[in-house]
Amino acid sequence: MNYLVVGAGNASRPVARLLNYLGHDVVVTDLKDISEFKIEFQRSLIEMEKEGVRLDMANKNPSVEGFDAVYMPPTLPETAPIAQKIYESDLKILTNEEFSKIVNDLIDVDIIGITGTMGKTTTTFITTSLFKQAGYKVWSCSSLVNNLVSEAIVDGIVKGKVNECDIAIFELPHGTIGLLNKLNIKIGLLTNIAEDHLSEFGGSLEKYQKRKLLLQAMSEIFISNNSCHDIIEKVRDDAIFYALDEDVDFKGTVGDKSLTIAYGDNEFTTPFNMMSYFFENSVAAASIALTYGVNEKDIIDALKAFKGLPAHMEDVGEYNGRKVILDSAFLYDGMKITLDYFKDDSVVLFLDHFDTLSVRDKAEVGNLISEYNLKAVIASGFNEVTQAVEMDAANEILDAITNINIEKVAVETIEKAAELTFKYSEPGDVILHMGPLIAYDRLTTVDKIIKGLERGSKKYE
């Protein structure tokens, strides 16, 4: 079939690539020129073009003539001229549900799906570790591989990873769930639901919850953090619950460098040397593995060897006697856990821009920081998503910090923020990074941070 895919955005790219892989003739049309997209999206489009997708970029008046079917992303306004042309034509419209079924039919192994506002990347990583320890050939897709997980899933299909595994473990952010809403999930897990991304749902927490709860409808077995019990019990009476220090199906208890997990009449304890939010996410991963049939010994061996994951309390070494920790916490609860962990240390904190595709409450961040005796807070105004310097966002955080003992500095870039941490710190201090961009685009953001750290360590030695 001849397919027209409207837009070269986050939903359209994986659709176009997979349709091309399946032998269809595919044209992607977009109002913008390819040069107007972020570098990683340009790379993706160029790769698709090499594979056979035709790119019709910077076209303000595309035609629908000569096509059999079309895909329109959910973000396309009904009033857009191209949408009006499509509605007036007799083109078959490929829906997200139909595309999801196509993807599902190409995956013939059990799928484990993990969603939530916080902790889904960590839980996906730990779950993958447990299954690998148990000898499974795992195909794992998460934002650690590609922030747009739907693209990572399609990439795995195109490159044959789906044929080299015996289980698939997918992190499923709300965007991916929206596109792939008809997958057959063997076990689905919800880590939590917090008030984030609401700007993408018209400010409605109910709409955001509804999107996340699509996972339970797709899942044969569904596991949830007990914090979501009231939401889940309204839609599912056979859900399994996990938590720390609560009497639920899978109960985790933190000891001195150990983690105990109790379930049914069983209980085991594993050595565990990680910190903060890794505890509860490890209980989540263990609940998936135990429910699937992984034995306790493999879980113990995997958790005993677990060393953390990139951008989550990641220790990147010492610079001029300062320990540097990179953390992607950006919501209130996650930031509080991280700041509590370092409350007895002398800390210089540097922050990236707190808005990605979602607009967040920067004043809330500043109010939280005020509760801690930090030496300095350096905030970057560069938005990696829009590629624009937005100093108001940095100043909104700093203006809300009322602790007079904290030095406050606003800078244009995260690279400059990393550099200046050495001006406000001394040997023995902890340099701590927090913010969402390190998770949204880890490679780019970490590269900038490391460059800033290296320059600062030389400039202020």
**DSSP secondary structure, 276-301, as one string:** TTHHHHHHHHHHHHHHHT--HHHHHH
In the CATH hierarchy, which top-level class contains the domain 314-459? alpha beta
Confidence of residue 147 (pLDDT cuts 50, 70, 90): low
Q: What is the pLDDT of residue 201?
A: 63
Residue 82 CA to residue 77 CA, distance in Å, equals 9
Q: What is the pLDDT of residue 361?
A: 84
Average pLDDT, the chain: 91
Out of 3.30.465.10, 3.40.1190.10, 3.10.310.40, 3.90.850.10, select the CATH number for domain 100-305. 3.40.1190.10
Q: What is the pLDDT of residue 98?
A: 97
Q: What is the pLDDT of residue 139?
A: 97
pLDDT of 16 > 90? The answer is yes
DSSP 8-state class, residue 8: S
Q: What is the pLDDT of residue 310?
A: 67
Q: Bridge partners of 27?
A: 4, 54
Which residue's entry shows tokens 């030695």? 461
Most confident of 118-127, 207-216, 396-405: 396-405
pLDDT of 146 > 80? The answer is no
Residue 303 CA to residue 142 CA, distance in Å, equals 19
Lowest mean pLDDT among 46-55, 117-126, 274-283: 274-283
Q: What is the pLDDT of residue 386?
A: 77
pLDDT of 436 > 90? The answer is no
Residue 275 CA to residue 270 CA, distance in Å, equals 14
pLDDT in tens, 310-361: 667 788 889 999 999 998 888 777 788 889 889 999 999 999 988 876 778 8
pLDDT in tens, 286-295: 999 999 999 9
Interior CA angle at 405 toward 399 and 409, to 5°?
Answer: 45
Q: What is the pLDDT of residue 28?
A: 97
Mean pLDDT, to the nearest integer, of 113-142?
94
Mean pLDDT, to the nearest integer, of 354-371?
86
pLDDT in tens, 73-82: 988 998 999 9
pLDDT of 197 > 60? The answer is no
Q: What is the pLDDT of residue 415?
A: 95
Give the domain 2-94 fold.
Rossmann fold (3.40.50)
Mean pLDDT, to the nearest integer, of 198-223?
85
pLDDT of 441 > 80? The answer is no
Q: What is the pLDDT of residue 350?
A: 96
Mean pLDDT, to the nearest integer, of 165-180?
94
Is there a contact between 420 and 457 (Cβ–Cβ < 8 Å)? Answer: no
pTM: 0.77
pLDDT of 58 > 60? The answer is yes
Q: What is the pLDDT of residue 257?
A: 86
Q: What is the pLDDT of residue 322?
A: 95
Higher per-residue pLDDT: 439 or 179: 179
pLDDT of 274 > 80? The answer is no
344 CB-contact burial (10 Å; exposed 0-12 / middle 13-18 / buried 19+): exposed
The domains of the chain are located at 2-94, 100-305, 314-459
**DSSP secondary structure, 321-340, as one string:** TEEEEE----SHHHHHHHHH
Is there a contact between 65 and 85 (Cβ–Cβ < 8 Å)? Answer: no
Q: Which amino acid is at 40?
A: E
Residue 193 CA to residue 215 CA, distance in Å, equals 13
